[in-house]
Amino acid sequence: MNVDMRAARAKLATALMIAVCWAIAGCGGSGSSGFDSVSRAIAQAIDDEACVAFDGQTFCASGVEAETTEFEGASVVIKAPDAPLLCDGHTLGVACAASLDFTTEGFMRVNSLLAAVSESEEGPWTLVPLEATDEAIGPRRVTILVPGQLDATTPSPFIAAVLVYAGVPPDVLPETAPRLADFGVELVYVSRRLELVLPRPVVDVRDPTAE
Amino acid sequence: MKRRDTVLKGIKELFYETRVLSGREYTIKRFAKEVLEGAVDPVMLGYIEKGTRFPNEALVRRLAAVRDEPAPPLLAVLYRDRMLHAFGRELRRALHDPKAVEGIADADLAVQVSRAVAALPDDGSWVPARTWRARIAGALRDKSRGSDVTRVVDILRERNLVEQEKGRVRRVARHYVAATPEERRALAMEFAAIFSKALLDKVALPDTSDTTFLRNHFLHIDRARLPEFYVRLEEAARGLAEEFADDAGAGTDFLNILLVGTPV
């Protein structure tokens, strides 16, 4: 009986504690709305070569030091060439791919990286393969593969995004998502607007009159 | 004065609820004749309740008398509706939008979205989906339009603002961006409605406007620092909202803070 009483008291105490915590913490919600958009924030980060905060995420241009709590003073430098990337270095099934290199600097906490590409700031964003050197802290050299279409006849525009996670990324992530926020990331480095081209084989047109 | 529902009401709702909620099952014809003493034609009263015509000020004063309320707050609703009607008309022209703009009803979608977001805890804890949907339904001015609840829920799920599983729901983001032309029009009308109400509270109802805050701050600022200023303004407003956010109840108001900053 005493055991039952103690168990009942414990249950009651737990219920009261939950109720009190609920009352103290408050269950209220708040929100905001506007005409701004995440794509505009990404565009601003690229155009102004700055870090732009938007709805809990920070978008930074290559080389700009982040001011987030987790990664203050750290940066990612995306080594984007001035000329379009050539889509012939690798193959990804039926598509081709080009390499885009970047380094990470000033990270003082363990972090993980993923990469995604999109045709424009508007999305959708698709995760792409990424290879990184082993150093968890300190400068790292990273290569991502940017996929291209073998039948493309004109340069394909794209933006590369490096997703920086404190610790490890979420277990389950979509392959493609409308927004970078869907990958559960708070710090994102974005490249300039780049282009991917598929080199055409040189056709040796012979002079038909020549022997 | 009797405290009323905080859902943003237009003058048409005030006429409708006065007739229907009187408990005497008045038809429009009987209400126009017996209660409003023939001050308005029944057909015209029908138009007023549908929002296709505005009442004149004399009729609003008569309605205030029927409700046993002072006339100025009801007149302020009429003035706001007229302003919104004019704003909506010009907005339609500015957006090259052929859709007819009713006025305050066009803000409904944005109002419901903001209510739906605020009905979920800031800390991301789960709440029963049924409870949440009931709170959204509470924000509908037209209670018969249950499909609007589903529409609002779908919008928030598509935008990844909420997450649902096993009959429960939680908030995963707090900022709603109006994306489609309809959403942008609705949000524009909501912003206009908030500003119109605040302005009218201060200039037309100065004695009863203690719940409204309206102030203008001005400064010269280095153009390069403008983005930083806006970021910090947003952080400050968001911090305050999350600190003071309470559970909806009899002792709470749904507070709307409209931030505007623009070089002039």
Interface of A with B (CB under 8 A): 25-38, 44, 48, 50, 52-56, 178-179, 181-182
What's the gap in Å between the CA of A26 and the closest CA on chain B? 6
What was the pLDDT predicted at A150? Answer: 65
The CATH number of the structural domain formed by A50-197 is 2.60.40
User: Does residue A13 register a pLDDT over 60?
Assistant: no
Average pLDDT over residues B131-155: 76
Number of Cβ atoms within 10 Å of the Cβ of B262: 4
Residue B98 is predicted with a pLDDT of: 64
- Using the beta-carbon criterion (under 8 Å), do A36 and B118 form an inter-chain contact? no
pLDDT band at B221 (very low <50, low <70, confident <90, very high): very high
**C-alpha to C-alpha distance for A111 and B139, rounded to whole angstroms:** 43
Extents of the domains making up chain A: 50-197
How many cross-chain Cβ pairs, A to B, lie less than 8 Å apart? Answer: 85
Arithmetic mean of pLDDT, A83-91: 72
Kindly state the average pLDDT of the residues A118-137. 82
Q: Is the pLDDT of residue A59 over 90?
A: yes
**Ranges A123-127, A203-207, B188-192: which has the least confidence:** A203-207
A56 to chain B, closest Cα gap in Å: 8
DSSP string, A147-203: EE-TT--SPEEEEEEEEEEESS--S---SEESSGGGGT-SEEEEPPPEEEE-PPPPP
Specify the residue for token string 């004063």.
B61
- Which amino acid would we find at residue B260? V
pLDDT-derived band at B126, boundaries 50, 70, 90: very high
CA angle B166, B169, B170 (to 5 degrees): 135
- Tens digits of per-residue pLDDT, B41-89? 999 999 999 888 999 999 999 999 999 999 999 999 999 899 988 888 8
Res A73: pLDDT = 82
Residues A43-65 have a mean pLDDT of 88
Q: How far is B97 from chain A (nearest CA, A)?
A: 17
Q: Answer whether residue B256 shows pLDDT above 80.
A: yes
Number of C-beta neighbours around residue A134 at 10 A: 5
A23, pLDDT greater than 50 = no
- Cβ distance of A179 and B160 shorter than 8 Å: yes
Q: Please determine, for residue A16, whether its predicted confidence score (pLDDT) is greater than 70.
A: no
- Determine the pLDDT at residue B1: 39
- Give which of A22, A32, A36 to mutate to test B binding, by max B Cβ within 10 Å: A32
Q: With cut-offs at 50, 70 and 90, classify the pLDDT of residue A137.
A: low
* Predicted ipTM of the assembly: 0.75
Q: Per-residue pLDDT for A200 more than 70?
A: no
Bridge-partner residues for A85, per DSSP?
A196
What is the pLDDT, as a whole number, of residue A135?
A: 61
Q: Quick check: B104 and B84 in contact, CB under 8 A?
A: yes
Residue A112: the pLDDT is: 86
Q: Which residue is closest to B237 within chain A, CA to CA? A: A32
Instruction: Give the model's confidence band at A201: pLDDT under 50 very low, under 70 low, under 90 confident, else very high.
Output: low
